Amino acid sequence: MIVAGIDIGSLTGKCVILRAAQKFGMDEILSSSLTHTRVKPATTANIVFKEALEKANLNQGEIEYIVGTGYGRVRIPFANKNISEISCHGRGAAYYLPNVRTVIDVGGQDSKVIRVNEVGKLVDFAMNDKCAAGTGRFLEVMARALETTLDEMGPLALQSNKPAMITAQCSVFAETEVISLIADGVPVADIIKGLTESIASRIVSLVNRVAGGLQEDVTITGGVAKNIGVVTSIEKKLNVKIKKLPIDPQLIGAFGATLFAKEELMKKIKEAPPDKKRKLKKWDF
């Protein structure tokens, strides 16, 4: 059976199409796609879903269940169900890392810490959804101010061993502060390291707000997980080794949504009257 998960975030929309194993075999990601978010979540969903379908050489009718997640999840017209990104990230991460108990999701415009149990079920969470400081948007703004790119920021941060102190709590004021630091001749690597330390401090504070505090294993999802500078700073502040996910961490939300889609579909199949139960196709094994 083939299911899809669509994650419409504040900065990017993601889609994962999964061939879900019903009884035997492994689940298989058939395709994934990512696009920048448009003004209307429905538009983003259509675009990213279409891209994923094309890559998998499928048409929409072959997708048996779709779960939407993310900020724009309630506006995906063709989704069968919507589930919060908190649950989806937790579930997706736990699928690949069964021992994970703390999932840190640093997204475009919010950051969260998710506590899951041994079956990936959501147990508690804490989020910073009031302020863009410490999120992907924060790094985007700073990359522009520093005339660098998001991809370059991570490796640059690792070059510094004297991080600049960024004192401003707010993204807007932090940008002003960064510009002052540039004018004072502070090396770019030191400034970027200071920014990653600032994000890491916020994350640590969120981790401490979740019931039980830090529990290993820890992993990180969302686009900012691809910034090695941020990941290293978080590891240092938490004094843990962050477990790496085997797929693009930015896709974990959409992937988690496919797992929920699989679950819902299995439930439907189980509850269907005998004459309506679909026959298993040979490739489901």
Partner 1 sequence: MGEAEKRYPMWDTIIGYVDRMAELFSTMMSAEETGEQVVNAQFLEILSKYLNGLYKAEAEGKTKLMYNFCIPPEIVYALDAYPMCQEAGSVLLSVVGKAHLKYIDLAEENGITPEQCNAQKVWIGAIMANEISPPDGIVYASQPCDSTNILYQVIQNMYKIPTYTMDVPYWSYDPKSLFYDERTVPYFKEQVKGVIPWAEKNFGLKYDPERFKEIMLLSNKAREACLEINELMTATPAPLPSMTTFSTYVSLTTSAGTQECVDYLEWTRDKAADMVKRKTSPLQEMYQKEEQFRVVWIYIPIFWDILMYDWMERKFGAVTVMDLMGYNLAQPVDTSSEEKIFEGLARTILDIPMGAQSRGPAEYYLDYLLHIVKKYKADCAIYGGHMGCKHSWGVASLLKEELYKRTGVPTLLFEVDTIDPRQVSSREVRKKIKMFFKEML
Binding footprint of partner 1 on the chain (CB under 8 A) = 83-84, 86-87, 122-126, 129-130, 208-209, 211-212
Instruction: Tell me the DSSP string of 67-122.
Output: EEESTTGGG-TT-SEE--HHHHHHHHHHHH-TT--EEEEE-SS-EEEEEE-TTS-E
Q: Which of 65, 32, 62 is nearest to 49 (CA)?
A: 32
CA distance 55 to 164: 44
The type of residue at 256 is G
Minimum CB–partner distance for residue 42 and partner 1 (Å):
19
Closest CB to partner 1 among residues 29, 127: 127
Residue 283 DSSP symbol: G
Q: Measure the CA angle with vertex 222, ends 218 and 228; round to 5°.
A: 70
Minimum CB–partner distance for residue 274 and partner 1 (Å):
30
Q: Measure the CA angle with vertex 251, ends 250 and 253; round to 5°.
A: 100
Closest CB to partner 1 among residues 125, 138: 125
Minimum CB–partner distance for residue 130 and partner 1 (Å):
7
Tokens of 53: 């379908």
Closest CB to partner 1 among residues 170, 211: 211
Closest CB to partner 1 among residues 29, 126: 126
Minimum CB–partner distance for residue 121 and partner 1 (Å):
8
Minimum CB–partner distance for residue 122 and partner 1 (Å):
5
Closest CB to partner 1 among residues 2, 83: 83
Q: Which residue has the tokens 């309506």?
A: 276
| 17: three-class secondary structure by DSSP | strand
Residue 282 DSSP symbol: G
CA distance 114 to 101: 8
CA distance 39 to 264: 30
Minimum CB–partner distance for residue 272 and partner 1 (Å):
24
Closest CB to partner 1 among residues 25, 212: 212
Closest CB to partner 1 among residues 118, 129: 129
Minimum CB–partner distance for residue 108 and partner 1 (Å):
17
Minimum CB–partner distance for residue 27 and partner 1 (Å):
21
- If phi > 0 it is left, if psi is from -120 to 50 it is alpha, else beta; for residue 202 that is alpha
Closest CB to partner 1 among residues 122, 191: 122
Residue 160 DSSP symbol: -
